[in-house]
Structure 1
Amino acid sequence: MKTIFQLLKPQLLLLSALIAALISSCKTDELKYEDEPGIYIDKEKFIGIRDSATFSFAEKTSTLLLDTIYIPVKISGRASAKDRPVPLKTDPLLTTASAGIHYEIPETKIMANQITARVPVIVKRAADLKTKQLRIYLKMETNAEFPFLIGNTKTNSTFSGEPSSIYTSGYLIKLNDQLLKPDTWDVSGSWFRFFFGTYSAVKYKFIMDVTGRMVWGPGARFGADSPTSAQMYAYYAKLQNAMYEYEKANGPMIDETGNQVTFPKI
């Protein structure tokens, strides 16, 4: 009489063969992945909103005609012994800004033995940005050095074993010369929201007039361009005093929505 193992032995052998073939296939794919390098926008390096950003010349000094936005990029696979050009381009279907008039993307290379680089996107203060917000949609293309096209990427951090965020492959820069709401006003941890409260254009102009500060950085808190906490508390006190003087002379300040401009109690 045959045991259960003897009866199932042919099926077990077949299953073992299938598993071995699958493992072999995975190893082949991994080798192929390294042999076919790709390159992508490294959104882990961005702070705040990681798929887009707004750049406003209205927040800069009036004499600033050019500025640079740096886009971090990273390769898949191994470093190379030679320099490799970065194929960062604009998507013509999703871009409304004009090359040469509103922006330039100088040629940039991943240097030999490196796996990262920063691509400069030079933005220009054209006259039509006073009345328009234009779009620069960046994407990676393939080239001879990077033939593998990478789609969406996942964050390095995980939650319950799954990536905590998935990023799209492209990156949108919204370009204007108008006083618009910063993208990061309401993001988690934003000092805009904590110190200044609800956004309005009238309030934002008042803040910049009183503090004299035009560049705030993401969330007025993150990155090299952001103020320190001591500066933010000093700005807050200055704004409270300025609002008191304004209301004493003019009554309540009313914003573009018809609401009174106030600051939170902290």
Structure 2
Amino acid sequence: MKTIFHNHRIKFLSLIALLIMATCKKDELKYEDKPGIYIDKEKFVGVRDSTSYSFAEKANTLMLDTIYIPVKISGNMSTVDRAVPLKADESLTTAISGTHYQVLETKIKANEIIARVPILIKRTTDLKTKQVRLFLKIETSAEFPLKIINTKTNSTFNGEPSNTYTPGYLIKFSDQLLKPDTWDASGSWFKFFFGVYSAVKYKFVIDVTGRTVWGPRARDGAEAPTSTQMYIYYAKLVSALYEYEKLNGPMIDETGNQVTFPKL
């Protein structure tokens, strides 16, 4: 009798175990990550939480330009297009929608995980005397209900992410001459060829070279100059500064310091 009872107990426990496993598998099949979306700051070069843009560096005829914000989803791809819920945070924004900027409607295409949201920025007369701020943020939506607070860099240090990015992205723009965000970035040709930044020096650089579009670090992207061009610019600047000083004495910048260029 004990042996029969023992066998029945084993069979009973085995049946319970199989039922639990089946239930777990069913739950696993039902489980899905909630989809979310975030600004993909790994795609930016140099400063990754903000950018400064100046129409003063562009041709006088340019009245409208576009800044692209890369976004990426978390969770699974979808078989349908989904709208990117990128909006302006009005509490942190001084730019006026429709007057200074427009966020164009963008979708994550079916079976894709990334997109670029075009932000139109407009050259208005008031930008000659002020800088406006546009702070962009991702909102949750029916298609992207998961709110993502922080994202981490793909690169690691001692096994841990080397940086954590906060949500949101700030665009500062004006029609005044501004210091390029990547002037002092690692490997920047701005810093290597031109030295310490000042507005007077930068205006001199633009006037002598005739170049207003440099690209990040003056070396990244399709619009950036080549190293040969940079050496030519450098030679022109050193020569032009020498001629200026012969006629006027030292060129003094807005901080009271003499404008100079590095010795290469």
Which TM-score band applies after superposition, normalised by the shorter structure?
Answer: 0.7 to 0.9
Aligned-residue Cα RMSD (Å) equals 1.6
Counterpart in the other structure of 1:4:
none
- SS of corresponding position for 1:93: helix
- Cα deviation 1:156-195 (Å, max 9, x = unaligned): 1100011011111100000111012112111111111111
Consecutive unaligned residues of structure 1, counting only runs of 5 or more, are 1-23
CA distance in structure 1 between the partners assigned to 2:129 and 2:248 by the alignment: 30
Counterpart in the other structure of 2:12:
none
CA distance in structure 2 between the partners assigned to 1:254 and 1:85 by the alignment: 52
Is residue 2:122 matched to residue 1:124? yes
CA distance in structure 2 between the partners assigned to 1:114 and 1:179 by the alignment: 39
Instruction: Give 1:227 deviation, angstroms.
Output: 1.2
Instruction: Give 1:244 deviation, angstroms.
Output: 1.4
Instruction: Give 1:223 deviation, angstroms.
Output: 2.1
Counterpart in the other structure of 1:234:
232
Instruction: Give 1:85 deviation, angstroms.
Output: 0.4
Counterpart in the other structure of 1:96:
94
**Could you tell which deviates more after superposition, 85-94 or 213-222?**
213-222
Counterpart in the other structure of 2:150:
152
Give runs of ≥4 in structure 1 deviating > 2 Å.
Answer: none
Counterpart in the other structure of 2:208:
210
Counterpart in the other structure of 1:161:
159
CA contact (8 A) 1:47 1:223 kept: no
Consecutive unaligned residues of structure 2, counting only runs of 5 or more, are 1-23
Is residue 2:42 matched to residue 1:44? yes
Instruction: Give 1:35 deviation, angstroms.
Output: 3.1
Instruction: Give 1:225 deviation, angstroms.
Output: 2.2
CA distance in structure 2 between the partners assigned to 1:128 and 1:89 by the alignment: 23
Matching residue's letter, 2:157: F
Counterpart in the other structure of 1:252:
250
CA distance in structure 2 between the partners assigned to 1:257 and 1:186 by the alignment: 18
Structure index of larger Rg: 2
CA distance in structure 2 between the partners assigned to 1:114 and 1:259 by the alignment: 52
- Cα deviation 1:123-147 (Å, max 9, x = unaligned): 0001111111111000000111101
Pick one of 220, 223, 229 that aligns with 1:222: 220
CA contact (8 A) 1:82 1:112 kept: yes
Counterpart in the other structure of 2:259:
261
